[in-house]
Amino acid sequence: MEVVGIGLLAFLFIAIAGLVVIFAVIKAVQSSLRNVANRAMERVLNVGERELVKGVQNIERAIGDEIAKNDPNRLATETMKLAEEKAGELTVSQVMSGLDVRQDVAVRTLEGIRKKSLCSVQDRNGQIVYIFPGFKKRKPVKICEYCGGTYEIREEEPLPSCPSCGAKLKAATVLE
Protein backbone atom coordinates (compact mmCIF):
# COMPACT_ATOMS: atom_id res chain seq x y z
CA MET A 1 0.00 0.00 0.00
CA GLU A 2 2.89 2.19 0.61
CA VAL A 3 3.97 1.95 -2.98
CA VAL A 4 0.51 2.88 -4.13
CA GLY A 5 0.48 5.80 -1.70
CA ILE A 6 3.90 7.02 -2.91
CA GLY A 7 2.82 6.60 -6.53
CA LEU A 8 -0.34 8.50 -5.84
CA LEU A 9 1.64 11.24 -4.10
CA ALA A 10 4.04 11.40 -7.04
CA PHE A 11 1.13 11.59 -9.44
CA LEU A 12 -0.46 14.39 -7.42
CA PHE A 13 2.88 16.23 -7.23
CA ILE A 14 3.36 15.93 -10.99
CA ALA A 15 -0.24 17.03 -11.59
CA ILE A 16 0.17 20.03 -9.30
CA ALA A 17 3.52 20.89 -10.91
CA GLY A 18 1.88 20.59 -14.32
CA LEU A 19 -0.95 22.87 -13.24
CA VAL A 20 1.58 25.39 -11.89
CA VAL A 21 3.45 25.30 -15.21
CA ILE A 22 0.17 25.65 -17.15
CA PHE A 23 -0.82 28.56 -14.87
CA ALA A 24 2.58 30.22 -15.43
CA VAL A 25 2.25 29.74 -19.21
CA ILE A 26 -1.27 31.20 -19.15
CA LYS A 27 -0.02 34.21 -17.16
CA ALA A 28 2.91 34.67 -19.59
CA VAL A 29 0.57 34.44 -22.58
CA GLN A 30 -1.84 36.90 -20.93
CA SER A 31 1.01 39.30 -20.27
CA SER A 32 2.26 38.98 -23.85
CA LEU A 33 -1.22 39.44 -25.23
CA ARG A 34 -1.73 42.44 -22.96
CA ASN A 35 1.53 43.95 -24.26
CA VAL A 36 0.55 43.22 -27.86
CA ALA A 37 -2.93 44.67 -27.27
CA ASN A 38 -1.47 47.77 -25.60
CA ARG A 39 0.96 48.31 -28.49
CA ALA A 40 -1.81 47.74 -31.02
CA MET A 41 -4.08 50.15 -29.15
CA GLU A 42 -1.26 52.69 -28.99
CA ARG A 43 -0.76 52.40 -32.75
CA VAL A 44 -4.49 52.74 -33.37
CA LEU A 45 -4.60 55.80 -31.14
CA ASN A 46 -1.58 57.30 -32.92
CA VAL A 47 -3.20 56.70 -36.31
CA GLY A 48 -6.49 58.09 -34.99
CA GLU A 49 -4.71 61.11 -33.58
CA ARG A 50 -2.98 61.76 -36.91
CA GLU A 51 -6.26 61.42 -38.79
CA LEU A 52 -7.98 63.69 -36.29
CA VAL A 53 -5.27 66.31 -36.81
CA LYS A 54 -5.67 65.96 -40.59
CA GLY A 55 -9.43 66.35 -40.22
CA VAL A 56 -9.05 69.49 -38.11
CA GLN A 57 -6.58 70.91 -40.65
CA ASN A 58 -9.03 70.19 -43.48
CA ILE A 59 -11.81 71.93 -41.56
CA GLU A 60 -9.55 74.93 -40.88
CA ARG A 61 -8.62 75.09 -44.57
CA ALA A 62 -12.29 74.87 -45.62
CA ILE A 63 -13.24 77.65 -43.19
CA GLY A 64 -10.36 79.79 -44.47
CA ASP A 65 -11.44 79.19 -48.06
CA GLU A 66 -15.04 80.09 -47.20
CA ILE A 67 -13.94 83.27 -45.43
CA ALA A 68 -11.76 84.25 -48.40
CA LYS A 69 -14.59 83.41 -50.81
CA ASN A 70 -17.01 85.66 -48.91
CA ASP A 71 -14.58 88.53 -48.27
CA PRO A 72 -16.56 91.71 -49.07
CA ASN A 73 -13.62 93.44 -50.78
CA ARG A 74 -12.91 90.43 -53.01
CA LEU A 75 -16.61 90.08 -53.84
CA ALA A 76 -16.91 93.77 -54.72
CA THR A 77 -13.84 93.56 -56.97
CA GLU A 78 -15.11 90.42 -58.70
CA THR A 79 -18.57 91.97 -59.11
CA MET A 80 -17.05 95.04 -60.75
CA LYS A 81 -15.13 92.79 -63.17
CA LEU A 82 -18.35 90.92 -63.92
CA ALA A 83 -20.17 94.22 -64.53
CA GLU A 84 -17.48 95.22 -67.01
CA GLU A 85 -17.87 91.87 -68.83
CA LYS A 86 -21.67 92.32 -68.94
CA ALA A 87 -21.49 95.83 -70.48
CA GLY A 88 -22.37 97.63 -67.26
CA GLU A 89 -25.59 95.82 -66.33
CA LEU A 90 -25.98 93.06 -63.72
CA THR A 91 -28.77 91.19 -62.02
CA VAL A 92 -28.58 89.39 -58.69
CA SER A 93 -28.80 86.02 -60.45
CA GLN A 94 -25.84 86.91 -62.70
CA VAL A 95 -23.73 87.72 -59.64
CA MET A 96 -24.88 84.50 -57.94
CA SER A 97 -23.83 82.34 -60.89
CA GLY A 98 -20.77 84.38 -61.85
CA LEU A 99 -19.27 84.39 -58.34
CA ASP A 100 -20.86 81.16 -57.04
CA VAL A 101 -22.46 82.83 -54.02
CA ARG A 102 -25.83 82.68 -52.29
CA GLN A 103 -28.54 85.23 -53.08
CA ASP A 104 -28.13 87.14 -49.80
CA VAL A 105 -24.38 87.51 -50.42
CA ALA A 106 -24.98 88.72 -54.00
CA VAL A 107 -27.58 91.28 -52.85
CA ARG A 108 -25.35 92.49 -49.99
CA THR A 109 -22.42 92.91 -52.40
CA LEU A 110 -24.44 94.80 -55.01
CA GLU A 111 -26.05 97.03 -52.38
CA GLY A 112 -22.61 97.80 -50.92
CA ILE A 113 -21.42 98.89 -54.36
CA ARG A 114 -24.60 100.94 -54.87
CA LYS A 115 -24.08 102.70 -51.52
CA LYS A 116 -20.65 103.77 -52.77
CA SER A 117 -22.45 105.35 -55.76
CA LEU A 118 -20.70 103.08 -58.25
CA CYS A 119 -23.99 101.80 -59.65
CA SER A 120 -27.69 102.55 -59.63
CA VAL A 121 -30.78 100.36 -59.63
CA GLN A 122 -33.50 100.11 -62.27
CA ASP A 123 -36.66 98.03 -62.22
CA ARG A 124 -37.19 96.49 -65.65
CA ASN A 125 -40.51 94.68 -65.81
CA GLY A 126 -40.19 93.48 -62.23
CA GLN A 127 -36.53 92.52 -62.45
CA ILE A 128 -33.98 94.60 -60.56
CA VAL A 129 -31.00 95.54 -62.73
CA TYR A 130 -27.89 97.21 -61.36
CA ILE A 131 -26.47 99.75 -63.81
CA PHE A 132 -22.74 100.52 -63.71
CA PRO A 133 -22.35 103.75 -65.71
CA GLY A 134 -18.56 103.46 -65.75
CA PHE A 135 -18.86 100.36 -67.93
CA LYS A 136 -21.67 101.53 -70.21
CA LYS A 137 -20.89 102.67 -73.73
CA ARG A 138 -21.40 106.38 -74.23
CA LYS A 139 -22.94 107.82 -77.35
CA PRO A 140 -22.92 111.45 -78.47
CA VAL A 141 -26.41 112.78 -79.25
CA LYS A 142 -28.30 116.02 -79.65
CA ILE A 143 -31.21 116.75 -77.33
CA CYS A 144 -33.99 119.23 -78.05
CA GLU A 145 -34.09 121.95 -75.41
CA TYR A 146 -37.84 122.33 -75.84
CA CYS A 147 -39.46 118.90 -76.41
CA GLY A 148 -36.63 116.69 -75.05
CA GLY A 149 -36.31 114.62 -78.23
CA THR A 150 -33.01 112.77 -78.57
CA TYR A 151 -31.30 112.42 -81.93
CA GLU A 152 -28.14 110.65 -83.02
CA ILE A 153 -25.37 112.82 -84.35
CA ARG A 154 -24.78 112.05 -88.00
CA GLU A 155 -21.81 113.36 -89.90
CA GLU A 156 -23.48 113.14 -93.29
CA GLU A 157 -26.47 115.35 -92.45
CA PRO A 158 -26.12 117.34 -89.22
CA LEU A 159 -29.34 118.48 -87.60
CA PRO A 160 -29.34 122.24 -86.90
CA SER A 161 -32.76 122.14 -85.21
CA CYS A 162 -35.27 119.64 -83.78
CA PRO A 163 -37.13 117.77 -86.55
CA SER A 164 -40.20 117.52 -84.27
CA CYS A 165 -40.64 121.09 -83.02
CA GLY A 166 -37.91 123.17 -84.68
CA ALA A 167 -36.25 124.22 -81.39
CA LYS A 168 -32.50 124.40 -80.88
CA LEU A 169 -30.60 121.11 -80.30
CA LYS A 170 -27.96 120.81 -77.59
CA ALA A 171 -25.02 118.34 -77.76
CA ALA A 172 -24.99 115.69 -75.01
CA THR A 173 -23.69 112.22 -74.22
CA VAL A 174 -25.98 109.37 -73.19
CA LEU A 175 -25.34 105.83 -72.00
CA GLU A 176 -26.29 103.10 -74.43
Span 11-21, pLDDT tens digits: 888 888 888 88
Same domain membership, residue 104 and residue 59 = no
User: For residue 123, is it within any domain?
Assistant: yes
Range of the domain at 99: 72-134
Assessment of whether the complete model's pTM goes beyond 0.95:
no
Lowest mean pLDDT across 38-47, 58-67, 95-104, 154-163: 154-163
- The mean-pLDDT minimum among 5-14, 51-60, 96-105, 113-122 falls in 5-14
Residue 29 lies in a domain: no
Inside any domain, residue 99: yes
Over 60: is that where the pLDDT of 96 sits? yes
Residue 91's pLDDT band (cuts 50, 70, 90): very high
Residue pair 112/136 in contact by the 8 Å Cβ criterion: no
Q: Taking residues 129-145, report their average pLDDT.
A: 87
**What value does the mean pLDDT take over residues 90-101?**
95
Overall domain count for the chain = 3
**Hey, which bits of 71-166 come out as E strands?**
89-90, 120-124, 127-131, 138-144, 150-152
Q: What is the dihedral of CA 114, 119, 125, 126, to 10 degrees?
A: -10
Q: Is the pLDDT of residue 1 over 90?
A: no
Q: Is residue 87 part of a domain?
A: yes
pLDDT band, very low/low/confident/very high, at 159 (cuts 50, 70, 90): confident
In a domain, 22, yes or no: no
What integer best gives the mean pLDDT of the chain? 86
122 class by beta-carbon count within 10 Å (0-12 exposed, 13-18 middle, 19+ buried): exposed
Cβ-based neighbour number of residue 151 at 10 Å: 14
Q: Are residues 125 and 167 in the same domain?
A: no
Mean pLDDT of 147-168: 80
121 and 100 in a common domain: yes
* Nearest alpha-carbon partner for 154 in 146, 142, 167: 142
Choose between 171 and 89: higher pLDDT. Answer: 89
Q: Tell me 134's DSSP state.
A: G
In this prediction, residue 84 carries a pLDDT of 92
Chain-centroid distance of CA 105 in Å reads 12
The pLDDT value given to residue 118: 93
